[in-house]
Structure 1
Amino acid sequence: MKKILILLLFVPLFSCNDWLTVEPEDSVTFVNYFKNEEELKALHNGIASYMKNICVGDQPQFYNSLDADNIEWTYQGFWTLDPDTYLPEESMVLNVSWANFYEAIYMANVIIENEYRFENISKERAEFWLGQAHFSKAMTYFRLAQIWGDAPISKGSESIAPEGKRPALEVLEEAAKEAKLALTLPTYDQLRDVDGKQITSKQYASLGTVNTLLANIYAWMGGLTREEKYWKEAESYASEVIEGRAGAYDLESIGGLITNVFGKARSSVETIFCIDNDPIDIDRQYETRFKAELPGQMLMTYPYTTTDESAIALLAEDYWDDYTKIYVETVESIYPDENDARRREFWYQLGELTYPLTEWDDEVGDFVEVGREASPCAHIAKWRDVIIQENTQFVQDRPVIATDGDWIVWRLADLILLRAECRANLGLTTAVDDLNRVRARAELTDYDGPTDKESLRQEVFDERRRELFGEGQFYFDIVRNGYYKKYLRGKFQELTDQDIKNGALYAPVSSGAFEKNTLMTQNTYWQWQK
């Protein structure tokens, strides 16, 4: 155990990529490691510590497409493509850096490249940990391509040579290659830990997770190139999961979706991949408010952060411009069918919630309620289990500081609708079958609209918007479908085709990536924004 702890202490110092700021060690560093399976698990835990940032961290895409009518002023620049917000030299709004991404890739490479040193580990168990490492690399490269587009591809854990960026399509091909090497993983119900006990956490990769990742990789490649071969690949990998060949997944009931997927039950047949978010994992006593990247993306209000109706009424006023909010009429336009169960389950008393109207009463010496007024704002209720700050040393009114549930990356409804999107792009009317399966859970009748390619593609996009509201997919759906001028704001509306080719829809490369890497270049679009 002492050896494992030493390894974990020094792993951050071993980073080898010259686009980071850390010098590498050669293979001699690890000559005394990999003597048992516990040490492989320790390295994997190190990778897992980075996955929150890689999968659901505070990257720009969480804000530049926030599906709301107003956004907190701090993040307004992401809405409008304002360089002063994005460029790291000029703004500290977010640390838009890929450093943790390459830390994860490095650690995965350490496991993969040192397979020959494994001792006292069976072939089956070695394949399990190697599969986890390959999945982590694949997931990280996929996210790099989504967020930054062009990015370096590591030559290995011992390389110290400067690396220039590779085109986004090559980064995605690298992700696909690594993911395919993880297809040896078992289905999630067959995952076992070092002690032989079943693994229940769906942050561990399984056969279903890997196929879902491949479906997403190829769908993104299809969006970049509009080439049918990629949508065919995506459709095929999605079908492996949807049709039960990569694990037994199923849609929850609408109530089960709230309780088991988004709630503190943390156990669902619908969840494919998530980031564990256990209250005991992080010392929360110093936290005093919601973090913007938590599920719900800043739309969490009543009845979560306060139950003071007067405070809620104040926040709902039009003049409160700093407040992130979405109006009832906007939600109703997103969910146009009054019978849609998601109106009822995803939103708190939509269109029915009222606030008090008060007037000063001289006799009472205070404000008194004189009536009620309908709330103009909608309040999301997808996430209902919350974590409250108990330490009154930091806060007196016990505010909510986090959602109490895992951070869902992919669930079955998402994958079903992704397959529908691929089928629509392929001109296949079977996309309607996938659409109807998700609509049925929402208590809607079958889709009876036009089924030409573009109409069906738009309808699938709209259904993903409804089903996945607040789950962090909206921006990627917009980019993949080329709908940025239709749904994004500000300078997004002015982008030319050349701007898109130059990387306008990607984040700029952070300044830290240039410190030791003479081959690093800024995305062309952002270079011209300085």
Structure 2
Amino acid sequence: MKKILILFLFIPLFSCNDWLTVEPEDSVTFVNYFKNEEELKALHNSMASYMKNICIGKQPYFYNALDADNIEWTYQGFWTLDPETYLPEESMVLDVNWAGFYDAIYIANVMIENEYRFENISEERAEFWLGQAHFCKAVAYFRLAQIWGDVPISKGSESIAPEGKQPALKVLEEAIKEAKLALTLPVHEQLKDVDGKQITSKQYASLGTVNTLLANIYAWLGGLTREEKYWKEAEFYASEVIEGKAGFYDLESIDGLIANVFGKARYSVETIFCIDNDPIDNDRQHETNFRPEFPGQMLMSYPYTTTDESAITSLAEDLWDDYTKIYVETVENIYPDEKDARRREFWFQLGELTYPVTEWDDEAGDFVVVRREKSPCAHIAKWRDVIIQENTQIVQDRPVIATDGDWVVWRLADLILLRAECRANLGLTTAVDDLDRVRARAELSGYDGLTDKESLRQEVFNERRRELFGEGQFYFDIVRNRYHKKYLRGNFQTLTEQDIINGAFYAPVGIGAFEKNTLMTQNTYWQWQK
């Protein structure tokens, strides 16, 4: 245990914050490590600590992925591709950086490169932890390519040479290479911890998780290149999971979806990969405000983050239009079938919720309620369990500070609809089978619309929009399908093909990446926006 604690103390010194701006320790540093499996688990825990930022961190896409009618003014620049919001030199809105991504890659490299030092660890157990490290690298590179496009590829944990960016396609190839090295992992039901007990957490990678990652990488490549070979690969890896060849996964009932996937039950047969969320996390001991972890949670208010009806009134009567909100009419357009169970389960009293209208009463000397009207705004009900700040030394009114449930990155319904998208792009009408499986859970009849390639592709997009509402997929779905002029705003509407090639869909490189790295360059699109 003493060695593990020492290793934890060293890890911050090895950090690759701002990308290769610090000198790593040489191999002698690790002579006394890797003597038992506990030390591998300690390194894995360090990698896992970065996964939240990698998978659901608040990069620009977080706000772009909010499917709503309005977002508070602070973030409206992300909706409109406004340089003053995006560019790190000018923006105080968001610190756009990839430091945590490379920290995770660094720690994974430390484990992988020191495999020859492992002692008292069986080949099977070494393979398990190395698989976790390769998965971590694969996810990090995939997300880097999604968010920034062209980025550096690490030469290893001991390299101190400045690194320039590599093309996004090459970065995605690196992600694929690392993911395939993790295909040796067992299915989730067979994952074992250091003490031999079954692992229940879906944050640990398994064969199903790796196949899902590969399906997502290849689908992203398909969207970037429009090459059928990538859609075929994505369809194959998605099928491995959907058809039960990579572990057992199944759709929950509509009630189980709310309670088990998005709620505090924290375990579901539908969840493939998630970030564990501890309700008593020490990081929360000083929090006083609600912090949404998914874009849709920005629409949370009554009755989950507050039971004060003034919240309904504020949205309905917002004269300055500064609140983040979505209208009932918009929700009904997204879910056009009145029988859709997601209207009922994902939204609180949709179209029926009322708010009090008040007028000044001279006799009472106060505002009094004179009538109630139906609120034009919809209130999301996808996440119903919340965490309340109990530390009265920090705040007296016990505010809601977070949702109470794990943060789900991939679930089976997502993957089924991703396969439907692949099949639609391949001109396969079997995409309808995947559509219908998700529609059936929503208490809808089978899809009976047009089945030509573009009609199916649009319908799959629509279904993903309905099913995955607020879960952070909307922006990436738009980019993959090139639907930006249909669903995005402002400067997104006027992008040329050359703008897209130059990186308009990606975030600009943060200031920190340029420190001590003379080879770093800004994305071409953003160079012209200064």
> Do Structure 1 and Structure 2 share a fold, with TM-score over 0.5?
yes
In structure 1, how many angstroms separate the alpha carbons of the residues matched to 2:58 and 2:386? 20
In structure 2, the partner of 1:228 is: 228
Unaligned stretches of 5+ residues in structure 2? none
SS at match of 2:248: coil
In structure 1, the partner of 2:355 is: 355
Q: CA deviation at 1:279?
A: 1.1
- Is residue 323 from structure 1 mapped to residue 323 from structure 2 by the alignment? yes
In structure 1, the partner of 2:158 is: 158
In structure 1, the partner of 2:378 is: 378
Contact 1:215 1:236 survives alignment (8 Å) = yes
In structure 2, how many angstroms separate the alpha carbons of the residues matched to 1:171 and 1:380? 37
Contact 2:138 2:174 survives alignment (8 Å) = yes
- Aligned positions, number: 530
Report percent identity of matched pairs: 87
In structure 1, how many angstroms separate the alpha carbons of the residues matched to 2:282 and 2:517? 34
Q: CA deviation at 1:285?
A: 2.5
SS at match of 1:157: coil
In structure 1, the partner of 2:42 is: 42
In structure 1, how many angstroms separate the alpha carbons of the residues matched to 2:262 and 2:66? 19
Deviations 1:402-429 (A, max 9, x none): 0000001000000000000000000000
The 5 A counterparts of 1:448-527 are 448-527=448-527
Deviations 1:423-442 (A, max 9, x none): 00000000000000000000
Q: Greater CA deviation, 60-69 or 220-229? A: 60-69
- Is residue 281 from structure 1 mapped to residue 272 from structure 2 by the alignment? no
The 5 A counterparts of 1:404-483 are 404-483=404-483
In structure 2, how many angstroms separate the alpha carbons of the residues matched to 1:64 and 1:346? 20
SS at match of 1:298: helix
SS at match of 2:360: strand
Contact 1:17 1:157 survives alignment (8 Å) = no
In structure 2, the partner of 1:184 is: 184
Q: Greater CA deviation, 353-362 or 26-35? A: 353-362
In structure 2, the partner of 1:33 is: 33
Residue identity opposite 1:164 in structure 2: G
Q: CA deviation at 1:17?
A: 7.9
Contact 2:65 2:475 survives alignment (8 Å) = yes
In structure 2, the partner of 1:143 is: 143
The 5 A counterparts of 1:27-426 are 27-294=27-294, 296-426=296-426
Contact 1:20 1:99 survives alignment (8 Å) = no
Change (3 A) 1:24 1:17: farther
In structure 1, how many angstroms separate the alpha carbons of the residues matched to 2:194 and 2:236? 33
In structure 2, how many angstroms separate the alpha carbons of the residues matched to 1:297 and 1:90? 27
Contact 2:20 2:160 survives alignment (8 Å) = no
In structure 2, how many angstroms separate the alpha carbons of the residues matched to 1:120 and 1:446? 56
In structure 1, how many angstroms separate the alpha carbons of the residues matched to 2:375 and 2:246? 46
Q: CA deviation at 1:395?
A: 2.8
Taking structure 2 as the reference length, what is the TM-score of the superposition?
0.98
Deviations 1:225-248 (A, max 9, x none): 000000000000000000000011
Deviations 1:180-232 (A, max 9, x none): 00000001011111111111110000000000000000000000100000000
In structure 2, how many angstroms separate the alpha carbons of the residues matched to 1:511 and 1:18? 8
SS at match of 1:342: helix
In structure 2, how many angstroms separate the alpha carbons of the residues matched to 1:227 and 1:136? 27
- The Cα RMSD (Å) is 1.2
In structure 2, how many angstroms separate the alpha carbons of the residues matched to 1:313 and 1:421? 40
Deviations 1:358-404 (A, max 9, x none): 22333333322221100010000000000111223333322211000
Deviations 1:268-317 (A, max 9, x none): 00000000111123332311112243463411111122211134202321
In structure 1, how many angstroms separate the alpha carbons of the residues matched to 2:278 and 2:18? 34
Q: CA deviation at 1:3?
A: 1.1
Deviations 1:448-493 (A, max 9, x none): 0000000000000000000000000000000000111111100000
Q: Greater CA deviation, 496-505 or 363-372? A: 363-372
Change (3 A) 1:451 1:360: same
In structure 1, how many angstroms separate the alpha carbons of the residues matched to 2:391 and 2:367? 31
Contact 2:66 2:295 survives alignment (8 Å) = no
Q: CA deviation at 1:18?
A: 7.8
In structure 2, how many angstroms separate the alpha carbons of the residues matched to 1:315 and 1:341? 25
In structure 2, how many angstroms separate the alpha carbons of the residues matched to 1:485 and 1:16? 37
In structure 1, how many angstroms separate the alpha carbons of the residues matched to 2:307 and 2:181? 50
Residue identity opposite 2:198 in structure 1: Q
SS at match of 1:283: helix
Contact 1:19 1:520 survives alignment (8 Å) = no
Unaligned stretches of 5+ residues in structure 1? none
Residue identity opposite 1:136 in structure 2: C
Contact 1:138 1:178 survives alignment (8 Å) = yes
In structure 2, the partner of 1:5 is: 5
Change (3 A) 1:18 1:291: closer
In structure 1, how many angstroms separate the alpha carbons of the residues matched to 2:28 and 2:321? 58
Q: Greater CA deviation, 391-400 or 33-42? A: 391-400
In structure 2, how many angstroms separate the alpha carbons of the residues matched to 1:74 and 1:226? 35
Deviations 1:503-523 (A, max 9, x none): 000000011111111111110
In structure 1, how many angstroms separate the alpha carbons of the residues matched to 2:395 and 2:486? 42
In structure 1, how many angstroms separate the alpha carbons of the residues matched to 2:18 and 2:384? 44
Contact 1:16 1:22 survives alignment (8 Å) = yes
In structure 1, how many angstroms separate the alpha carbons of the residues matched to 2:298 and 2:349? 19
Residue identity opposite 2:82 in structure 1: D
Contact 2:185 2:207 survives alignment (8 Å) = yes
In structure 1, how many angstroms separate the alpha carbons of the residues matched to 2:69 and 2:165? 37
Taking structure 1 as the reference length, what is the TM-score of the superposition?
0.98
In structure 2, how many angstroms separate the alpha carbons of the residues matched to 1:136 and 1:386? 29
